[in-house]
Amino acid sequence: MITSINNERIKEISKLNNKKYRKEKGLFIVEGEHLVEEAYKHNLLVEVYSLNETSYENSYIVTESVMKKISNLDSIPNIIGICKIKKEEEIGNRILILDNIQDPGNLGTIIRSAVAFNVSTIVLSNDSVDLYNSKVIRATEGMIFNINIISRDLFSFVPSIKNQYKIYGTNVESGTLLKNVEKVEKCAIIMGNEGNGVKKELQKICDENIYIEMNKQCESLNVGVATSIILYELGR
Amino acid sequence: MITSINNERIKEISKLNNKKYRKEKGLFIVEGEHLVEEAYKHNLLVEVYSLNETSYENSYIVTESVMKKISNLDSIPNIIGICKIKKEEEIGNRILILDNIQDPGNLGTIIRSAVAFNVSTIVLSNDSVDLYNSKVIRATEGMIFNINIISRDLFSFVPSIKNQYKIYGTNVESGTLLKNVEKVEKCAIIMGNEGNGVKKELQKICDENIYIEMNKQCESLNVGVATSIILYELGR
């Protein structure tokens, strides 16, 4: 049983709350039974720290104060898991590109919907909120393990796929009505920042802009909602 | 200029962060320029407190420490508004019923989407998160002023509209595929709690259950996303 927050191992693990350290180690933390179980199912679980005994390998019992030191939650979980960052896979036919999404809850929700509607790869711009931020992971409801997610400089990535994929931008003001968008085999959809939308320089590279028709009283939808509606419609 | 956090008026206004007091006074707080402007446009703005001079009537300048006392935000806004709670209107043809939604961000997002997709009235169950919670209001992006929202005991409300409206429940496991749902003039859609869905007793009263088809790896969508997709599809 680990009782001291000054234990070397605990100090190392707490550092995983820092983005730079996560990248260096190729590890991240998940909190709560559901996420630990999902990590285990995907062979990405390395170690477990919990308040009680568990049936996982490499499982350590810790005190509540130690758990509090590691956890990012206001009320500490019973269990946390240390997970390997997933290896990159082939990008596949259905790509979702996220240009500077900043809200962790939005990113988590988008990942969950992307799994639901069969996106093959999510491409995060380098200026997006960090994927392994604890709030992002919680909002994915475990779906972070079920999809290929990569980080790229979009100004080089988007042109590099331009001739193989139909590239859809999104715009809150104009474009092809979502219901009229042609469904193609290989497509990439670019969704933009909460306040500013897709960067102008990226919009220029798009083959077409998608527009969701809505009541004029409403200027725009939440970006998680807009992304999900587009993925739902184009996935049918 | 109000400089003291012990000023009687400031003490009264701070109490509006309490649900019971909001109800008693029929007032609530909005934070930031966009929401104050929306309240003004809807003739619901009663008073304004701000760090600088404004062009609103009944506007008071306050110090940063006073603003901090009133505000719910981590970084204080330049301006807050005291608003009247909107009067109830006719429920109209398109009703969205929310059964015990708990997350403020989800409720705010749903309100925003409900305006976008022409819902006439949102009915909140008495056990839902409070509508005038500051996080809810922020997530609506000002749309809270553009729609009729009422609170009801759903066990008496839903049966009371049963013969006039087609009532759709939602279920993450089975039901009529969303794309096959018949579009009717007068309908009410019931969305359930984040963890537990629609209460069994309410599901029994529904005429039909709606089901959103998705990849089996994903158990469910975020409730704000699911609601928005249903409203988008049925609004077409």
Within 8 A of B217 by CB-CB distance, chain A residues are 115, 143, 146
Q: What is the pLDDT of residue B44?
A: 96
CB contact under 8 A, B225 and A221: no
Residue A174 has what pLDDT?
78
Residues of chain B with pLDDT under 70: 236
Give per-residue pLDDT as tens, A190-201: 999 999 999 999
Closest by CA to B115, choosing from B36, B236, B228, is B228
Is pTM beyond 0.90 here? yes
User: A173 or B142, which is more confident?
Assistant: B142
Is the per-residue pLDDT at A172 higher than 80?
no
Tell me how far apart the terminal alpha carbons of chain B are, to the nearest angstrom: 52
* Contact (Cβ atoms closer than 8 angstroms) between residue A191 and residue A110: yes
pLDDT value of residue B141: 92
pLDDT of residue B171: 80
| Cα distance between residue A110 and residue A107, in whole Å | 5
Is residue A36 scored above 90 in pLDDT? yes
Predicted-complex ipTM score:
0.93
pLDDT at A206: 95
Q: A49 in helix, strand or coil?
A: strand
Give contacts of A215 with chain B, Cβ < 8 Å: 115-118
Are B215 and A105 in contact (CB < 8 Å)?
no
Q: What is the DSSP letter of B197?
A: B
- What tens digit of pLDDT does each residue of B52-84 get? 999 999 999 999 999 999 999 889 999 999 999
Which pair of structure tokens corresponds to residue B84?
A: 């009247």
Across chain A, mean pLDDT equals: 95
Looking at residue B172, the DSSP 8-state letter turns out to be S
How is residue A48 annotated by DSSP? E
CB contact under 8 A, B218 and A112: yes
Q: What is the mean pLDDT of residues A104-133?
A: 97
Selected residue of A38, A221, A223 to mutate for chain B interface (largest B Cβ count, 10 A): A221
Burial degree of B192 (CB within 10 A; 0-12, 13-18, 19+): buried
Domains of chain A: 8-84 (3.30.1330.30), 94-234 (3.40.1280.10)
pLDDT band at A51 (very low <50, low <70, confident <90, very high): very high
Share of chain A above pLDDT 90, in %: 93
Residue A60 tokens read as 């350590």
Q: Which of A146, A224, A233 sits opposite B225 (nearest CB)?
A: A224
- What mean pLDDT do residues A152-167 have? 96
pLDDT(A78) > 90: yes
Burial of B86 (0-12, 13-18, 19+ CB in 10 A): middle
Q: Hey, are the CB atoms on A179 and B236 less than 8 Å from each other?
A: yes
Provide the CB-side half-sphere exposure for A24 (13 A, CA).
9
Q: Which tens digit of pLDDT belongs to each residue from B120-153?
A: 999 999 999 999 999 999 999 999 999 999 999 9
What is the C-alpha to C-alpha distance for residues A62 and A9, in angstroms, rounded to an integer? Answer: 11
Work out the average pLDDT over A125-148.
95
User: Nearest CA of chain A to the CA of B1: how many Å?
Assistant: 33
In a 10 Å sphere around its CB, with 0-12 CB exposed, 13-18 middle and 19+ buried, how is residue A154 labelled? buried
